[in-house]
Chains A and B, each alone.
Chain A
Amino acid sequence: MDAVTPILVDRAQARGGLWPRMGLSAALHAVVLPIVMIWMVADPPEDQAPKAVMQISLGGAPGPRAGGMTPMSARAADAAPPTSRPTPVAPPAPKAPDMTLPDTRKTPQRETPKAPEATQGTAVAETGVRTGAAFGGLSTGGSSGTSGYLDVANFCCPEYLATMTQLIHRNWNGKQQVAGETLVKYTIQRDGRVTNVEVEKSSGYFALDQTSQRALLVTRQFPQLPPQFTEGTLTVHLIFRYER
Chain B
Amino acid sequence: MRTLGLYALSLQVQGGTAADPVVNHDILSLIARSSLLAKFVLLILILFSVISWGVILYKLWSLGRAERQSATFLDIFRKSSKFSEVQAVCKNLNDSPLVGVFQAGYAELNTQLRQSTPAAPAGAPVRSTLKSLPALDRALLRAATVEINRLEDRVSFLATTASITPYIGLFGTVWGIMSAFQGIGATGSTNLGVVAPGIAEALIATAAGLFAAIPAVYFYNHLSGRVKLLASEMDDFSLEFLNISERNFT
Name B65's closest neighbour in chain A (CB-CB). Answer: A17
Taking the closest CB of chain B, its distance from the CB of A151, in whole angstroms, is: 21
Would B28 and A37 count as touching, CB distance under 8 A? Answer: yes
Interface string of A1-45 (1 = CB under 8 A from B): 011100110011011011001111111111001100110110011
Would B26 and A8 count as touching, CB distance under 8 A? Answer: no
Q: Answer yes or no: B89 CB below 8 A from chain A CBs.
A: no
Would B150 and A44 count as touching, CB distance under 8 A? Answer: no
Segment 82-107 of B: residues with Cβ below 8 Å from A: 94, 100, 103-104, 107
Would A34 and B2 count as touching, CB distance under 8 A? Answer: no
Q: Which residues of chain B are within 8 angstroms of A17 by Cβ–Cβ distance?
A: 58, 61-62
Would A3 and B111 count as touching, CB distance under 8 A? Answer: yes
Q: Which residues of chain B are within 8 angstroms of A12 by Cβ–Cβ distance?
A: 146, 149-150
Would B3 and A24 count as touching, CB distance under 8 A? Answer: no
Would A41 and B26 count as touching, CB distance under 8 A? Answer: yes
A-B Cβ contacts below 8 A, count? 105
Would B150 and A29 count as touching, CB distance under 8 A? Answer: no
Would A25 and B28 count as touching, CB distance under 8 A? Answer: no
Q: Which residues of chain B are within 8 angstroms of A45 by Cβ–Cβ distance?
A: 25
**How far apart are the CA atoms of A27 and B130 in the complex, in Å?**
55
Would B108 and A3 count as touching, CB distance under 8 A? Answer: yes
Segment 35-67 of B: residues with Cβ below 8 Å from A: 46, 49-51, 53-58, 61-62
Give the total of A residues in contact with B, Cβ under 8 Å.
29
Would B104 and A8 count as touching, CB distance under 8 A? Answer: yes
Would A3 and B110 count as touching, CB distance under 8 A? Answer: yes
**How far apart are the CA atoms of A167 and B38 in the complex, in Å?**
56
Interface size class, chain B? 35 or more
Q: Which residues of chain A are within 8 angstroms of B142 by Cβ–Cβ distance?
A: 4, 8
Q: Which residues of chain A are within 8 angstroms of B149 by Cβ–Cβ distance?
A: 12
**How far apart are the CA atoms of A47 and B213 in the complex, in Å?**
32
Q: Answer yes or no: B17 CB below 8 A from chain A CBs.
A: yes
Would A4 and B26 count as touching, CB distance under 8 A? Answer: no
Q: Answer yes or no: B250 CB below 8 A from chain A CBs.
A: no
**How far apart are the CA atoms of A44 and B14 in the complex, in Å?**
13
CB < 8 Å: which of B53, B94, B108 contacts A14? B94
**How far apart are the CA atoms of A14 and B49 in the complex, in Å?**
26
Taking the closest CB of chain B, its distance from the CB of A220, in whole angstroms, is: 32
Would A7 and B6 count as touching, CB distance under 8 A? Answer: no
Q: Answer yes or no: B202 CB below 8 A from chain A CBs.
A: no
CB < 8 Å: which of B23, B51, B53, B100 contacts A8? B100
Would B100 and A7 count as touching, CB distance under 8 A? Answer: yes
Name B104's closest neighbour in chain A (CB-CB). Answer: A4
Interface string of B7-31 (1 = CB under 8 A from A): 1011001100100001101111000
Would B104 and A26 count as touching, CB distance under 8 A? Answer: no
Q: Which residues of chain B are within 8 angstroms of A18 by Cβ–Cβ distance?
A: 54-55, 58, 154
Would B6 and A40 count as touching, CB distance under 8 A? Answer: no
Name B108's closest neighbour in chain A (CB-CB). Answer: A4
Q: Answer yes or no: B201 CB below 8 A from chain A CBs.
A: no
Cβ contacts A to B, 29 pairs, < 8 Å: A3-B108, A3-B110, A3-B111, A4-B139, A4-B142, A7-B143, A11-B147, A11-B150, A12-B149, A15-B62, A15-B150, A18-B54, A18-B154, A21-B54, A21-B58, A24-B57, A25-B50, A25-B51, A26-B3, A26-B50, A29-B3, A29-B46, A29-B49, A30-B2, A30-B5, A33-B6, A38-B10, A40-B26, A41-B27
What 13 new A-B contacts, CB under 8 Å, besides A8-B146, A33-B10, A34-B9? A2-B111, A3-B107, A7-B100, A7-B143, A11-B146, A12-B149, A12-B150, A21-B55, A22-B54, A24-B57, A26-B50, A30-B3, A30-B6
